[in-house]
């Protein structure tokens, strides 16, 4: 919007038009002068015509005529100058294009100011024109001049405006535009609340954004302005894309993650408030994996009790076989009071800094004994050992109206059951009243039975040595309590085990 005359180009244009006008008038006036009574003119100047010397005569006349013309021209220039200034107009130039002609610059300026005010009222915010406006002095006929409504419409069509906004910057990059700083505050605190749902605010020591977040007032196109909710969602998701899945009957978090090719973790990140175990039919799940543009960092100071693991010491015993181990002293966990700083990004723990540890209970070292003795050969020796430790509750023989084929030894469930002699496992499965049963063939027609087991540790075909653990005491099959039912059979017939042990 430069003033008149400060632009040399404009001046040149102006003078060019002046000269053009002048030339026209000069031509017109030449015609007029040629009609003047030359004799009268000459006599005024007291110059007598010299008859016969036409050339001289013409020369003189031309000189006089030139002077007359010059005088006339002066008058004409004054006239033109008057004319030009009397008909002075301005063209309104927007972004280098002439859009209207006005009589006075002020006419356009007033319309532009009114337009600005109406835009401000419409948007309820300060506006600025982004278009370049300037004025040029021109000649215009009355018909060409615009004013009032017509001028307003013409300018409206060419003027682009921007509104004053509050722009959120994260690490020097603009990420969202809002109308006011108050709205920005709402957005930022909304994002913060969203990410601190799982954070104990009473223990918070520090809270802030991971990025450098700034708010700047700038003029922006009105189309870029978001409302509070839009901006908040955009910042959290890193996109305005919306993809929703409505839960249908029979679906689970897992099946939905498979259906859309999203990992379970990502689906959970996209739905931090949904409980993966308890989704309901009709519930809407977000399928867009968020890539937050602003991340919330919190530091909590927490105290808690933590376990201290125990150590294990190995001891050796020559009274046990090489493949046997036994816990002599059971290990126990210790306890400590821990004070720590927990750093969370968007509510998810990213770092834990231990500030202090106070041991309240020392752990107890476990002592494990390992055998060194070479085990006996895995074949029958002809003698038997008692297969488990416990109390004999029922002996071999006739009882309660029927024959008891073995020996019942009561012991807690899980007590080790050992092979009474070396041999080969010929049965290791469930069998009617016996429950879980192992049969071992020792050769020489001897087979032993181990019934009601809770656990079988061998399989058919295994060679075992005398004293090797083969299973554990239980209550499977027909029992009244945990015990081992032990039989010795010779050539298929049960014999009294007490006679062999």
Binding site for Zn ion (CB under 5 A): 408, 485
Question: Closest residue to Zn ion, Cβ-based?
Answer: 485
- Minimum CB distance to Zn ion smaller for 101 or for 439: 439
Give backbone dihedrals phi and psi of 270, rounded to 5 degrees, phi first. -75, -20
Phi first, then psi: give them for residue 211, nearest 5 degrees.
-95, 160
Q: What is the DSSP string of 72-139?
A: HHHHHHHHHHHHHHHTEEEEEEETTEEEEEESSHHHHHHHHHHHHHHHHHHHTS-EEE-S-EEEEEEE
Q: How far is the CB of 376 from Zn ion (least distance, A)?
A: 27
CB count within 10 Å of CB 421 equals 26
Min CB(454)–Zn ion separation in Å: 16
Count of residues for the chain? 501
Smallest distance from Zn ion to CB 271, Å: 59
- Exposed, middle or buried by CB within 10 Å (0-12, 13-18, 19+), for 379? middle
Q: What minimum distance in Å lies between the beta carbon of 372 and Zn ion?
A: 36
Nearest approach, Cβ of residue 408 and Zn ion (Å) = 4
- Count the alpha carbons within 13 Å of 263 in the hemisphere toward its beta carbon: 4
Provide the minimum distance between the beta carbon of 451 and Zn ion in the complex, in angstroms, as a whole number.
7
User: Residue 437 Cβ, how far from Zn ion at the closest point, in Å?
Assistant: 12
**Between 154 and 485, CB nearer to Zn ion:** 485
Q: What is residue 465's three-state secondary structure?
A: coil
| Closer of 286 and 405 to Zn ion (Cβ) | 405
Cβ closest to Zn ion, residue 418 vs residue 485:
485
- Please identify, using beta-carbon distances, which residue of 33 and 392 lies nearer to Zn ion: 392
Nearer to Zn ion, 123 or 386 (CB): 386
Residue matched to tokens 């105290």: 303
Q: How far is CA 35 from CA 30, 40, 56, 65, 186, in A?
A: 9, 12, 21, 12, 87
Torsion of CA 140, 141, 144, 149, to 10 degrees: 100
If the CB atoms of residues 183 and 408 are measured against Zn ion, the closer one turns out to be: 408
By C-beta, is 436 or 485 nearer to Zn ion?
Answer: 485
Angle at 142 between CA 137 and CA 146, to 5 degrees: 75
CB of residue 447 to Zn ion, shortest distance in Å? 16
| Interatomic CA distance for residues 5 and 10, integer angstroms | 7
Helix (H, G, I), strand (E, B) or coil at 70: helix
Q: Where are the alpha helices (DSSP H) in 124-202?
A: 148-156, 181-195
């Amino acid at each position: 919007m430069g003033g008149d005359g400060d632009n040399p180009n404009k001046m040149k244009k102006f003078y060019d038009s002046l000269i053009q006008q002048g030339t026209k008038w000069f031509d017109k006036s030449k015609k007029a002068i040629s009609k003047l009574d030359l004799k009268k003119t000459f006599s005024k100047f007291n110059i007598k015509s010299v008859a016969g010397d036409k050339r001289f005569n013409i020369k003189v006349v031309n000189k006089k005529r030139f002077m007359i013309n010059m005088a006339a021209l002066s008058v004409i220039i004054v006239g033109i100058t008057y004319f030009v200034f009397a008909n002075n107009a301005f063209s309104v130039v927007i972004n280098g294009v002439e859009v209207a002609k006005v009589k006075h610059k002020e006419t356009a300026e007033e319309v532009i100011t009114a337009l600005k005010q109406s835009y401000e009222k419409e948007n309820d915010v300060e506006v600025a024109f982004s278009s370049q406006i300037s004025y040029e002095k021109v000649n215009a006929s009355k018909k060409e001049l615009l004013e009032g409504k017509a001028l307003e419409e013409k300018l409206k069509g060419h003027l682009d405006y921007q509104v004053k906004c509050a722009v959120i910057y994260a690490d020097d990059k603009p990420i969202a535009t809002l109308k006011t700083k108050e709205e920005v505050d709402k957005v930022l605190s909304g994002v913060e609340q969203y990410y601190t749902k799982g954070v104990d605010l009473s223990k918070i020591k520090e809270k802030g954004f991971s990025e450098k977040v700034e708010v700047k007032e700038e003029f922006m196109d009105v189309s870029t302005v978001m409302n509070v909710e839009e901006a908040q969602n955009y910042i959290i998701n890193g996109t305005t894309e919306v993809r929703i899945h409505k839960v249908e009957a029979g679906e689970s978090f897992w099946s939905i993650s498979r259906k859309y090719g999203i990992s379970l973790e990502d689906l959970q990140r996209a739905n931090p408030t949904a409980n993966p175990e308890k989704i309901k039919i009709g519930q809407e799940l977000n399928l867009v994996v968020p890539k937050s543009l602003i991340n919330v960092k919190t530091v909590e100071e927490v105290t808690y009790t933590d376990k201290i693991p125990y150590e294990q010491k190995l001891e050796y015993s020559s009274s046990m076989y090489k493949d046997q181990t036994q816990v002599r002293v059971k290990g126990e966990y210790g306890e400590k009071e821990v004070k720590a700083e927990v750093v969370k990004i968007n509510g998810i723990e990213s770092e834990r800094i231990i500030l202090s540890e106070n041991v309240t209970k020392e752990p107890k070292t476990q002592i494990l004994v390992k055998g060194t003795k070479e085990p006996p050969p895995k074949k029958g020796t002809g003698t038997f050992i008692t297969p488990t430790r416990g109390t004999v509750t029922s002996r071999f023989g006739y009882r309660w109206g029927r024959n008891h084929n073995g020996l019942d030894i009561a012991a807690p469930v899980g007590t080790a059951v050992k092979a009474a002699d070396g041999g080969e496992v010929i049965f290791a499965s469930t069998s009617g009243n016996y429950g879980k049963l192992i049969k071992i063939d020792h050769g020489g027609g001897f087979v032993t039975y181990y019934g009601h087991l809770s656990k079988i540790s061998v399989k058919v075909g295994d060679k075992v040595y005398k004293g090797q653990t083969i299973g554990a005491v239980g209550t499977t099959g027909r029992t009244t309590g945990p015990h081992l039912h032990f039989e010795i059979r010779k050539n298929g017939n049960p014999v009294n085990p007490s006679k062999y042990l």
